[in-house]
């Protein structure tokens, strides 16, 4: 078998020290005092000899790669973009680099990404799981691979997770609408088996039931794959008929934004004709003619806690899972003002 090309081989051919070669090949040449010409010569030799960096060996030495993986459910949703940024900022404080992927709400893509990131030897994973990815998460758990679920817990799996109290946040939002005098409150949620959305729906139903109001036909579900069309239909149904809704509660920011586009098109006045409340944050909520009342998820706190919990798990793989539930805050603005 051909001997593996080492840094020493390159150093000998270039007539420099092994340390210098190492600096250049790990792109840290500013640390050594090496001119661009020499750096290029070293790289040229490395290419000629077909040098392959033995990253695996490097990481086996320390046992760590100081890299964690983050899998979000859909990177085109600014909510997850914000979370990614916060996780990165927090990881950076611990000198950890984050590489991430987006499952785009697709379980198959999620499996690919978990594989790719594990093969890349990340020390641990933070996952905002997509629907149908329970098996993948279960496998991580059975392998004792360090990971933390964020935003969306799987109650059937004993795993560390960080999420808000979705039931409570939803219940509070509906109570707020009731207090402002609304009686015909509709909700638009995703059609999904994911637990956090089920909890948001349950909060809506229990709050209405406790107020002696019926929920049938007031809860509409939209498919992720047919968002625009399903939301328009739901709003038509909820705001039409003899008893049109006087308030709409959106289970996520993406549902709300699509809904608000249609509400603007229809010329419905918010909050006079229709109060609006939504989960999550969005820049668009601030610029809507009636700034939108929203449930603020403490994403900074969640992101920090996720990184810290993951790092404790990486340090001690036998650590029992921890389930962190944080209360969310209702930020009341003009879209749900009393008439």
- Tell me which residues touch its own copies (CB under 8 A): 26-27, 30, 36, 40, 43, 47, 52-56, 60, 67, 69, 74-78, 80-82, 84-85, 88-89, 92, 97-102, 104, 109, 111-121, 135-136, 139, 142-144, 257, 260-261, 264, 282-289
How many other CB atoms are found less than 10 A from the CB of residue 108?
A: 12
Shortest distance in whole angstroms from residue 69 CB to its own copies: 8
The answer for residues whose C-beta is within 8 angstroms of residue 231's C-beta and 6 or more apart is: 188, 222, 255, 258, 259, 262
- Pick from 68, 81, 213: which is nearest to 146 by CA? 68
Q: Residue 214 has which token pair?
A: 């019926």
Please check whether residue 67 is in contact with residue 122, taking contact to mean a CB–CB distance below 8 angstroms: yes
Ordered alpha helix ranges (H), 51-194: 55-62, 78-93, 107-119, 134-142, 166-179
Shortest distance in whole angstroms from residue 21 CB to its own copies: 14
Residue with tokens 């749900």: 336
Shortest distance in whole angstroms from residue 84 CB to its own copies: 5
Q: Residue 301 has which token pair?
A: 């706190």
Cβ proximity to its own copies: between 119 and 225 the closer is 119
Shortest distance in whole angstroms from residue 29 CB to its own copies: 8
Shortest distance in whole angstroms from residue 208 CB to its own copies: 28
Cβ proximity to its own copies: between 169 and 257 the closer is 257
Cβ proximity to its own copies: between 71 and 177 the closer is 71
Q: How far apart are CA 300 and CA 309, in angstroms?
A: 14
Cβ proximity to its own copies: between 29 and 230 the closer is 29
């Amino acid at each position: 078998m051909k001997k593996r090309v080492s840094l020493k081989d390159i150093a000998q051919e270039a007539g420099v020290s092994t340390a210098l070669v190492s600096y250049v090949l790990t792109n840290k040449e500013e640390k050594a005092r090496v001119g661009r010409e020499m750096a290029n010569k070293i790289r040229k030799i490395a290419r000629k000899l077909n040098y392959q960096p033995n990253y695996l060996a490097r990481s086996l030495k320390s046992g760590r790669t100081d890299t964690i993986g983050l899998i979000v459910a859909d990177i085109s949703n600014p909510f997850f973009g914000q979370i990614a940024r916060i996780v990165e900022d927090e990881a950076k404080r611990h000198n950890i680099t984050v590489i991430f992927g987006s499952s785009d709400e697709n379980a198959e893509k999620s499996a690919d990404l978990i594989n790719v990131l594990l093969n890349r030897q990340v020390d641990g994973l933070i996952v905002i799981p997509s629907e149908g990815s329970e098996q993948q998460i279960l496998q991580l758990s059975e392998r004792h691979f360090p990971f933390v679920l964020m935003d969306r817990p799987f109650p059937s799996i004993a795993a560390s997770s960080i999420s808000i109290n979705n039931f409570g946040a939803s219940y509070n939002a509906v109570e707020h609408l009731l207090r402002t005098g609304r009686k015909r409150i509709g909700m638009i949620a995703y059609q999904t088996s994911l637990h956090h959305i089920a909890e948001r729906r349950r909060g809506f139903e229990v709050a209405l039931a406790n107020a002696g109001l019926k929920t049938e036909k007031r809860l509409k579900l939209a498919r992720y794959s047919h968002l625009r069309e399903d939301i328009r239909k739901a709003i038509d149904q909820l705001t039409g008929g003899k008893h049109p809704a006087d308030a709409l509660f959106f289970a996520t920011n993406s549902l709300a934004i699509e809904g608000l586009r249609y509400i603007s098109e229809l010329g419905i006045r918010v909050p006079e004709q229709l109060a609006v409340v939504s989960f999550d944050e969005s820049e668009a909520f601030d610029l809507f003619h009636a700034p939108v009342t929203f449930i603020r998820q403490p994403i900074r706190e969640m992101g920090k806690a996720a990184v810290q919990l993951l790092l404790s798990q990486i340090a001690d793989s036998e650590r029992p899972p921890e389930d962190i539930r944080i209360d969310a805050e209702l930020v009341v603005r003009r879209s749900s003002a009393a008439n």
